Amino acid sequence: MFDSTLRQGLVVQLEQSPFLSLISDDRMQQVLKLMAKPTDARLTPVISREICERTASAAVLEGSIASLGNDYLLTLRAKDCRSGDVLDEEQVQAARKEDVLNALSQIAIRFRTRVGESLSTVKSHDIPLAEATTPSLEALRAYSVGWQVSFSSGSSASVPFFQHAIEIDPNFASAYAALGRMNGDIGETALSAQNLRKAYELRNRASDQEKFFISVNYELQATGNLEKARQTCDLWAKAYPRAWLPHALLSGAIYTSLGKYERSVENGKIAIGIDPDFSLGYANLALSYMALERLDEAETTLQRALDRKL
């Protein structure tokens, strides 16, 4: 029940911070390939530390949950991935299974302040996990498994998990957004628009980053308002300067559709600068170079992707 669920919950909580940057699942899978490991390998402390070093990251976060009589004890430990030194360790106790998500929110807030984020920023980007996702552990588990399956087996295979999350909690905005995105990936445009419209209606039940994600995809796939989608991406990138996704959407979906290939190139460079293993980003950038008849730069871009074995 807790394994993938708490990991997903912690990701949602820490991604509310404009100052923290988490390595994406997609990038971790690329690094695991370079390590000659299966892409679904369990992230043990040893493997996690090597991924941390290979991505030039600052720290590995190790989380655990244990029974303590009738209570639950949550622990979060941050280690420097080069020295192995413990940078921070937090513990929170929950009296019931239903209180675990609140405890996870507390532990994330403590960690953010301990690593140097100001209290004012924490308070302005601090939606409790039950409100940012769902109060149901079972729905959150289905949602987290859905994302794992999407990375390992593709969009179509993930659809039943997001559908199940919505069946458990019909007000789970992020699950509707994820389902709408997967519907769009497999060409089910009507279902995509329907689920993104529902996510948009429920967007106040999501974290700040997820609200941006929902709004942009709603404009792209439900209304077709590219200018509104562009404005939302600009606001997203300004609020979260470490986020690669708004730049990826501007590069691959928005500026190309508007015929503004110079702006597409500009944002494509930013996206792969933030996440050098974002494979689709190289394709977007190369296509925009081709549209501008800058074929040498398109070839160089694709060669960079090949060199990284993407």
| CA distance linking residue 287 with residue 10, whole number of Å | 36
- The total of structural domains in the chain comes to 2
The answer to whether residues 206 and 90 belong to one domain is: no
**How many residues would you count in the chain?**
310
| CA distance linking residue 31 with residue 162, whole number of Å | 27
The answer to whether residues 47 and 81 belong to one domain is: yes
**pLDDT band for position 30 (50/70/90)?**
confident
The answer to whether residues 152 and 298 belong to one domain is: yes
The answer to whether residues 165 and 292 belong to one domain is: yes
Give the pLDDT score at 267.
Answer: 97
pLDDT, the chain, mean: 91
The answer to whether residues 27 and 143 belong to one domain is: no
Task: With a cut of 90, say whether residue 263 has pLDDT above it.
Answer: yes
> CATH number for the domain including 100?
3.40.50
What is the percent of the chain with per-residue pLDDT over 90, rounded to a whole number?
61
**pLDDT band for position 296 (50/70/90)?**
very high
Domain endpoint, select from 84, 111, 129: 129
First to last CA, the chain: 33
Residue range 203-224: mean pLDDT, rounded = 93
| CA distance linking residue 253 with residue 284, whole number of Å | 9
For residue 7, the 8-state DSSP code is H
> CATH number for the domain including 197?
1.25.40.10
Residue range 118-124: mean pLDDT, rounded = 82
Q: pLDDT digits over 128-186, tens only?
A: 888 888 889 899 999 999 988 988 888 999 999 999 999 999 999 999 999 999 999 89
Task: With a cut of 90, say whether residue 124 has pLDDT above it.
Answer: no
Domain endpoint, select from 98, 129, 160: 129
| CA distance linking residue 8 with residue 244, whole number of Å | 19
**pLDDT band for position 123 (50/70/90)?**
confident
| CA distance linking residue 142 with residue 124, whole number of Å | 29
Give the pLDDT score at 283.
Answer: 96
Task: With a cut of 80, say whether residue 2 has pLDDT above it.
Answer: no
Which structural domain, as residue segments, surrounds residue 113? 3-129
- What pTM was computed for the model? 0.84
Distance set, CA 170 to CA 51, 191, 201, 305 (Å): 37, 16, 12, 40
Give the pLDDT score at 80.
Answer: 92
Of 158-167, 204-213, 262-271, which range is least confident?
204-213
The answer to whether residues 296 and 147 belong to one domain is: yes
The answer to whether residues 61 and 170 belong to one domain is: no
**pLDDT band for position 239 (50/70/90)?**
very high
Tokens, residue 103: 């405890």
| Residue closest to 43 by CA, chosen among 52, 34, 152 | 52
Domain endpoint, select from 73, 100, 129: 129
The answer to whether residues 34 and 149 belong to one domain is: no
The answer to whether residues 150 and 279 belong to one domain is: yes
The answer to whether residues 213 and 271 belong to one domain is: yes
| Residue closest to 151 by CA, chosen among 23, 274, 249, 271 | 23
